[in-house]
Amino acid sequence: MSETSQATESRSYPPPEDLAAQANVGPEVYEEAARDRLAFWESAARRLTWEREWDTALDWTNPPFAKWFVGGKLNVAYNCLDRHVEAGHGDQVAYHWEGEPGDTRTLTYADLKDEVCRAANALLELGVQAGDRVAIYLPMIPEAVISMLACARIGAVHMVVFGGFSADALASRITDAGAQVVITADGGYRRGAPSALKPAVDDAVSRTEGVRHVLVVKRTEQDVEWSEGRDLWWHDVVTKQSAEHTCEFFDAEHPLYIMYTSGTTAKPKGILHTSGGYLTQVAYTHWATFDLKPDRDVYWTAADVGWVTGHSYIVYGPLANRATSVMYEGTPETPHRGRWFELIQKYGVTILYTAPTVIRTFMKWGEDIPAGFDLSSLRLLGSVGEPINPEAWSWYHQHVGGGRCPIVDTWWQTETGGHMINPLPGVTSLVPGSAQVPFPGISAKVVDDEGNELSDDSTGLLVLTEPWPSMLRTIWGDDDRYVDTYWSRFGNMYFAGDGAKKDADGNIWLLGRVDDVMNVSGHRISTTEVESSLVGHPTVAEAAVVGASDPTTGQGIVAFVILRGNAEDSGDELVQQLKTHVAKDIGPIAKPRQIMVVQELPKTRSGKIMRRLLRDIAENRELGDVTTLTDSSVMNMIKDKLPAAP
Ligand code: ATP
Ligand code: MG
């Protein structure tokens, strides 16, 4: 097995010739965008159907408050559904939906349009008007997509809260957004069992003001408490509606949705996205980054709609491009660890988009599992959410992609709305572990603390120097926090909060969030680099690294590792081996002070490690806010394993 990490990675994979020959976009897009960035985005916007064209592509007279496609009018749901049906594609499948228990639903574009119109009519009947906020707290069932599009259709602003979040998290988001209607279900299926949702809604709504109605989808048939007058069944209210609804066209800057960031670092921020620019960029990036061929591909973003990845690349991008998608309700290990691969085989998935955390879990389970399925339909793979360690990249490439599928590693954020830094599969020679180059029309730089652009190969901060169509417009209800969080550090540049390095070939390597960069005896060391090095060792499936305060070095490196399925925990001997491995790979300064073998790591719902909780543990502190953890028992498991602090 090869031992690779970010520090030593130097392989490069040119685009497969047949893919390059037929790719949706070739190298010319970089030139076009460089020649005239705004003209480039305008031509991307023309891929959509506008009721009225814009007068001005970008209004940046009041930075950092951008307006894109000023004066243009469109309906987002019309662009995702009606226009495809009108063009004769009503019978094309929009979603092959698969429930965790194995039940399925197939929704064509015509079906989906009808369902969305019914739901839109129902919301109107409940008094929802353009601009009102609607909270959506659903499992991964088609009604989640239907509800989002129904809101978009009538100009209501949706605010999806991940179905696994607590009543607390839901209540604070309902209050912050001022939602008047909540759409939920009795429950959903997770890990083979029904998991209730309605009780959390009852609890949350009782602690908030302003929610007039709770619309409930029947999914699991669990008993639910009922508040007469307030609560309504979806099958009573929506099903009886007409499937006719003539949509209204809204301003390009009409709010589309609020999405609270996962809260890996601090109090969740209500990121506001609007209509025209957002749909332009998610549709264009989805088409270009994934080389989507609507007549041939079966596309699968294996993520949750409660995460921005689900908004942009399960719902809006794919539907705007008339993709046929797979949507799956449950977890990868239910009822067996091959479930995802079984789905790829069953539906003939050609493009798979997922997160490194899942890939590392698959690595831990072993390559025999994917080997048991026919994955030959796959032609392209994607990654999102955190840097993909070269070792995980190689595993994904070989054991899922059969060595033939390019992997597009996409760097972006809830705030950016769509892809920002990533290779293009028909153009870029891939370098495992690097998200590589800014997307055409995007201006990204690596700068020092003063905002000066750095020479290649030095480590600094990632900034975006020009506004982009799908950028957040503000933090809901808090313009000051928007300016403060993203624009105050350098004044005229968007500060993403991530550390990065540019190599001599111009590839950008993301180094994790700046708050996670460690300072060991005056050296800045990125958690990502040390984690990648650990995962590059044949025994390690997953690693989380934090800097814990240290009396002599300022911070000491503490690592938590999960071993691969076939690796043996030889105790001290293994720990020594791993320490030596990192020291050799990156340098003695990066050698962890302490390494602990654990079974699980604390993660957010989007699969990101909550390093601040591990830092709490490493520094022997009370744990901070755990409301966005997938599984809070994980922290107890880790604490139990913990030796006394050094
Ligand atoms: P919060 O902002 O609330 O702390 P979050 O940043 O985890 O949460 P997201 O917007 O889902 O919420 O994630 C964006 C972040 O994820 C980026 O800033 C970056 O740190 C990381 N990220 C996403 N994709 C990649 C990628 N391909 N490579 C490296 N890092 C990535
Ligand atoms: Mg963030």
What are the tens digits of pLDDT across the range 17-45?
Answer: 999 999 999 999 999 999 999 999 999 99
Alpha carbon distance 508, 501 (integer Å): 6
Report whether residue 386 contacts ligand 1, using a CB cutoff of 6 Å.
yes
Cα(304)–Cα(336) distance, integer angstroms? 19
Q: Is residue 222 part of a domain?
A: yes
Residue 261, ligand 1, Cβ within 6 A: yes
Same-domain check for residues 224 and 308: yes
Q: How far is CA 469 from CA 57, 285, 418, 420, 488, in A?
A: 9, 11, 9, 11, 21
What pLDDT shows up at residue 455?
Answer: 85
Tell me whether the omega of the peptide bond preceding residue 335 falls within 30 degrees of 0, making it cis. yes
- The verdict on 527 and 455 lying in the same domain is no
516 domain residue, yes or no? no
Q: What is the strand order of the sheet 494-502 is part of? A: 444-447, 459-464, 494-502, 508-513
Any ligand 1 atom below 6 A from CB of 628? no
Q: Please report, for residues 17, 284, 288, 344, 357, the alpha-carbon distance to residue 291 in angstroms, rounded to integers and kept in the order given.
A: 14, 10, 5, 18, 24
Q: Is 410 in the pocket of ligand 1 (CB under 6 A)?
A: yes
Q: In DSSP terms, which residues pair with 213 in a beta bridge?
A: 181
Domain match, 200 and 349 both: yes
- 333 shares its domain with 450: yes
Residues 525 and 635 in one domain: yes
According to the model, what pLDDT value does residue 554 have?
85
Residue 633 located in a structural domain:
yes
Q: How far is 314 from 348, CA to CA, in rounded Å?
A: 17
Q: How far apart are the CA of 312 and the centre of ligand 1, in A? A: 14
User: What's the pLDDT at 2?
Assistant: 40
Ligand 1 mean position to 377 CA, how many Å?
A: 30
Identify the sign of the CA torsion 167, 171, 173, 178. positive
Token output for 64: 């950092």
In this prediction the ipTM stands at: 0.99
Q: Does residue 513 have its Cβ closer than 6 Å to ligand 1?
A: yes
Two tokens, residue 300: 């699968």
Ligand 1: does its nearest atom lie under 6 Å from the Cβ of 608? yes
Q: Is the domain of 312 the same as that of 345? A: yes
Q: Is the dihedral of CA 634, 636, 637, 643 positive or negative?
A: positive
CATH number of the CATH domain containing 544: 3.30.300.30
The answer, yes or no, to whether any atom of ligand 1 lies below 6 A from the CB of 345, is: no
Euclidean distance between CA atoms 140 and 328, whole angstroms: 7
User: Which atom of ligand 1 approaches the CA of 410 most closely?
Assistant: 27
Q: Are residues 592 and 444 in the same domain?
A: no
Is the domain of 485 the same as that of 541? no
Query: What does the DSSP assignment read for 23-66?
Result: -S--THHHHHHHH-HHHHHHHHHTTS--SB--SEEEE-SSTT--
Residue nearest to atom 28 of ligand 1 (CA): 387
Per the CB < 8 A criterion, the answer to whether 254 and 472 are in contact is: no
Q: Which of 305, 358, 393, 412 to mutate to test the pocket of ligand 1 (most atoms within 8 A of CB)?
A: 412
Q: Is residue 6 a part of any domain in this protein?
A: no
| Centre of ligand 1 from the C-alpha of residue 449, in Å | 20
CA 489 to centroid of ligand 1, rounded, Å: 19
Residue nearest to atom 27 of ligand 1 (CA): 411
Q: Whose CA is nearest to atom 24 of ligand 1?
A: 385
Q: Which domain holds residue 635?
A: 521-640
Determine the Cα–Cα distance for residues 550 and 520; give it in Å rounded to an integer: 9
Q: Is 501 in the pocket of ligand 1 (CB under 6 A)?
A: no
Atom 14 (ligand 1) nearest CA: 413
Q: Give the domain-ending residue among 469, 500, 531.
A: 500
Instruction: Single out the residue of 186, 207, 261, 222 nearest to residue 604, CA to CA.
Output: 261
Question: Binding site membership for CoA: which residues?
Answer: 190-193, 309, 521
- Could you tell me if residue 192 is left (phi over 0), alpha (psi between -120 and 50 degrees) or otherwise beta? left
Residue 514 within any structural domain of the chain? no
Q: At which of 447, 466, 500 does a domain end?
A: 500
* Cβ atoms of residues 145 and 318 within 8 Å: no
Pocket test for ligand 1, best of 258, 308, 414, 482 (most atoms within 8 A of CB): 414
Q: Are residues 496 and 528 in the same domain?
A: no
Of 444, 470, 500, the residue that ends a domain is 500
Pocket flag, ligand 1, residue 350 (CB < 6 Å):
no
Q: How many domains does the chain have?
A: 2
414 CA to middle of ligand 1, Å?
8
In a domain, 512, yes or no: no
CB of residue 409 inside a 6 A radius of ligand 1: yes
Do 350 and 245 lie in one domain? The reply is yes
The pTM assigned to this predicted structure is: 0.91
Instruction: For residue 507, tell me if it sits in a domain.
Output: no
Ligand 1 atom having least distance to the Cα of 388? 28
Q: Is residue 10 part of a domain?
A: no
Q: What residues are designated binding site for Mg(2+)?
A: 535, 537, 540
Residue 531 CB less than 6 A away from ligand 1: no
Residues of the chain below pLDDT 50: 1-4, 644-646
Neighbouring C-alpha atoms within 13 Å toward the C-beta of 478: 14
User: Does 435 contact ligand 1 (Cβ within 6 A)?
Assistant: yes
Q: Is 500 in the pocket of ligand 1 (CB under 6 A)?
A: no
Is 498's C-beta closer than 6 angstroms to any atom of ligand 1? Answer: yes
Burial of 429 by CB count in 10 Å (0-12 exposed, 13-18 middle, 19+ buried)?
middle
390: domain CATH number? Answer: 3.40.50.12780
Distance (Å) from CA 558 to ligand 1 centroid = 22
Residues 424 and 312 in one domain: yes
- Compute, in angstroms, the gap from residue 347 CA to the centroid of ligand 2: 33
- Write the residue with the smallest CA distance to atom 3 of ligand 1: 263
So what's the pLDDT on residue 263?
61
φ, ψ for residue 513 (rounded to 5)?
-70, 150
- Gap between the Cα atoms of 150 and 129, Å rounded: 12
- Are residue 324 and residue 245 in the same domain, yes or no? yes
pLDDT at 639: 74
Could you identify the atom of ligand 1 that is nearest to the CA of residue 606? 11
* Ligand 1 neighbourhood includes 264 CB (under 6 angstroms): yes
